[in-house]
Amino acid sequence: MTQLLGLVLLSFVVTSIFMVPFIDLLFYLKRRFEKIQKEKEKKSETPIHDALMKTDEGTPSGGGILLILILVILSLGYSFFSPAVDKISLAILLFTVISFGSLGLADDIKFIITRRKGKFLGLGRRRMLLIQVGLALLVSAMLYFLGGLNNFYISGLGNFVINAWYIPLSAFVVVAFANAYNISDGLDGLSAGLLLICLFAFLALASSILDLTLASFIGIWIGLLFAYLYFNVWPARIFLGDAGAFAFGATLAVVGLLTGKILALAIIGGMFIIIVASSAVQILSKTIFKKKILPVSPIHMYFKYIGWEESKIVSRFWLAGGVFAILGLWIALLSR
């Protein structure tokens, strides 16, 4: 426990030290490329854009890049000095973070380039989904062949050994959470706060089963999220970006899968599921019935649409996320 708390504090301090100059760098790049853009537009040429920024907002995006780097470096550093760390589990976690983070960064770059042509699709929905599925299948294959996972435990129903069917099912979970987190990253502090709550629940679960590797990884993740959330709550000074959103959503799913308790994952991450479900229902309604169920989606944007203050929405979603986390952890501990 002492080591774990030390990792949380170390991660928090390191992220805090680098966060302010990183934000200043993003603002500098934003101003620089906005100036270049204006000059290029006068010459009727295509302006140069920086992939870290959202040009339609005053707050820069790209915080996920710094967080991913710190998470990877500190996790590798801890594994180097701690022989008790399961190298396979850590490799799967880090591969998920890096691969989905790289995909998100590529989407950020493509998004800015295509937006100059009047498009707002980034890599495109179909292409993005196909790549996500490919990465998720690779991660799931690693869990199955290298991690030896081939079962799900559901409280009250028992243990289900599904062998190779584990790969497509876990891949679906990874893709679902990657997109759920990305969709939830729409209000200042919302997604990071919900993730922090989920990680505390999984930290308790990992500690209860004496999984040092998972607990240390989560501890480092919690520490850097504390530092990031300080700058991300309303009014946000920095946004995560697709790189961080896809990486964190997919990795949260892998953390849950490594515990072997898929029901606990679904409940602990219940707010993410509600958010992505609201978007999915809206899309299906428009596709099948040619009309919207809600004026806007996802659900947190609906509350903003009807007049709720942003801080009120975020705080109440955090409270709901806390209830889901406690319920999921309680069910998981009952089934130990």
Q: Point out the annotated binding site for Mg(2+).
A: 182, 242
Annotated binding site, which residues?
182, 242
DSSP state of 57: S
| Distance separating alpha carbons of residues 284 and 282, to the nearest angstrom | 6
Are 122 and 241 in contact by the 8 Å Cβ rule? The answer is no
Axis-axis angle for helices 63-81, 2-42 (nearest 10): 150
Count of beta carbons in the 10 Å neighbourhood of residue 117: 7
Count of beta carbons in the 10 Å neighbourhood of residue 285: 15
Are 67 and 228 in contact by the 8 Å Cβ rule? The answer is yes
121-156 burial string, b = 16+ CB within 10 Å, else e? ebbeeeebeebbeebbbbbbbbbbeebebbebbebe
Cis check for the bond before 21: say yes or no (omega within 30 of 0). no
Axis-axis angle for helices 212-232, 190-208 (nearest 10): 160
User: Which residues are bridge partners to 161 per DSSP?
Assistant: 151
Count of beta carbons in the 10 Å neighbourhood of residue 159: 10
Amino acid found at 205: L
34's tokens: 């906005």
Are 222 and 44 in contact by the 8 Å Cβ rule? The answer is no
At residue 161, what are phi and psi to the nearest 5 degrees?
Answer: -90, 115
Are 128 and 182 in contact by the 8 Å Cβ rule? The answer is no
Burial of 41 (0-12, 13-18, 19+ CB in 10 A): exposed
